[in-house]
Chains A and B, each alone.
Chain A
Amino acid sequence: MAKHVVAAVGEIPPGGRKLVTIRGREIGVFNLDGAFYALVNRCPHQGAALCTGAVVSRLEAPLPGEYRLAQAGAMLRCPWHCWEFDIRTGQSWCDPNDIKARTYNVSVEPGEALAKGPFAAETVSVAVEQEYVVVEL
């Protein structure tokens, strides 16, 4: 498992995303309220580019008519058939235990620590005074 620096922290604002390719694999990195998450850019249903879908809120209703916007911007909606996936866990809304998008560990690390290595930064140049989003793969 290698660490890959995919972005400087400021590059992905809350609600934003960045698509990166790590070892030939397309991955979407999302900032949800200041925390970062990474999902494979491939829908477990039929393979659409999941991470290009709309970021939507989690809409719930314990009973008909009792609408609740539970978590703003927490879901990713597949551009093909609109299945929703939790950005944090990759779990689908419709079948959370059996249908999941692959997720990757993400951390935020100071450039100083990264400078000691080992890490791979394909496209991002690392400065010691900055913080970086790091995906493990």
Chain B
Amino acid sequence: MIPAGAIDCDIHAAVPSIRALLPHLEPYWREHILRRGLERDNLEASAFPVAAPINARPDWQPASGLPGSSLAEMRAHILDPLQPRAAICNVIHGAQMMMSEDLSAALCRAINNWLAAEWLDRDPRLRASIVVPVHSPDLAAEEIERMAPDRRFVQVLLLAMTELPLGRRQNWPIYRAAEKHGLPVGIHAGSSFRHPPSAGGWGSFYLEDYVSYAQGFAGALNSLLAEGVFQKFPALRVVLIESGVSWLPASLWRINKTWRGMRAEVPWLDRMPSDIVRERVRLTAQPFDAPPDAGALETLLAQFGSDEMLLFATDYPHWHYDGADPLPAGFPPGLLRKLLVDNALATYPRLAA
């Protein structure tokens, strides 16, 4: 059982439909959307079939509409029983990855307005990530500038698998703006859904698609490291959200080992990549690819080489656990306080203030 006062670093508020965004759009874009009839689509960006069980725990299934689209239900399902001190809403929506950069940006603005008005204004426990057009870094940076004064927005939200590796310089305006405002960049599981989820192309099955996401995260992290994003933006922090966690140690061993011989190719990478990651990268601990027993879990945690990297999350309403205990079985009690509260406070300056 989780004590009250934890910080839930990943819950999902779902945009119920484009219609719900209409009041939050600028008049021009409202007209644009209505003329095109886009309000009849909800631009749902789920990586899974809408009815896949993982999308919502059975007891968190809404009476109607999308899981996570009702604040009343979110309260009843998670906020009231868990009593978190803060919970960070991450909205995943087609607006983030659509082709038209201007429409993408307009819808992202509307989503942020909607988040502030319909969620943050109504429940003081809620915080949110700024939704940005991920393929349009200049417009994304503008949106960060626009939203940053609202301190309830504590992070910038990107997706792990985008058209361009995340570290590439074209993306730097996003990191510059995030760093300037003390906002970590949260990289959520997800894709633009127009490139394959694995480096080897399109798979046939949902199983492989889902499991391969971990490689997508590894690729994103390797790109950020190799391109020198952590050197260029020395105060920037990155949070990997819903990445799973067990892939990380092996991935770090691999990049460390190769870096020793290749480092002259990326001379700005002047420290062991794992040291940089331990200092600057955090992971939400839901889903936790649970090792088979407590001993294996302890080994895995030791392999992280830091007890400051994992952040508590429920990933509401996704179905990763049952009952009231989202922690992996056998999680060392001595690390609980860090996982539940301290690590998040150290990661999100706006939560500590």
Contacts and interface: CB of A to CB of B under 8 A. Distances in A.
B268 A62 contact: yes
B267 A94 contact: no
A59 interface: yes
Contacts of B229: 64
B201 interface: no
B227 A64 contact: yes
Given A64-B227, A64-B231, A64-B232, A94 B259 contact: yes
A83 B261 CA distance: 5
A92 to B, nearest CB: 8
Given A64-B227, A64-B232, A94-B272, A59 B267 contact: yes
Contacts of B227: 64
Interface in B226-244: 227-229, 231-232
A82 B268 contact: no
B263 interface: yes
Interface residues of B, number: 17
Interface string A49-83: 00000001001111111111000000000000111
Nearest to A92: B260
Which of A62, A64, A81, A94 is the most central at the interface, judged by chain B CB atoms within 10 Å of its CB?
Answer: A64
Nearest to B230: A64
Interface of B: 169, 227-229, 231-232, 259-264, 266-268, 270, 272
Interface of A: 56, 59-68, 81-84, 92-95
A94 B231 contact: no
Contact of B260 (A59, A62, A67, A94): A94
Contacts of B264: 56, 59, 84
Which of B227, B229, B260 is the most central at the interface, judged by chain A CB atoms within 10 Å of its CB?
Answer: B260
Given A62-B231, A64-B232, A82-B261, 8 more contacts: A61-B266, A61-B267, A61-B268, A63-B228, A63-B268, A64-B268, A65-B228, A84-B264
16 contacts: A56-B264, A59-B264, A60-B270, A61-B228, A62-B231, A64-B229, A64-B232, A65-B268, A66-B268, A67-B267, A68-B267, A81-B261, A83-B260, A83-B261, A84-B263, A95-B260
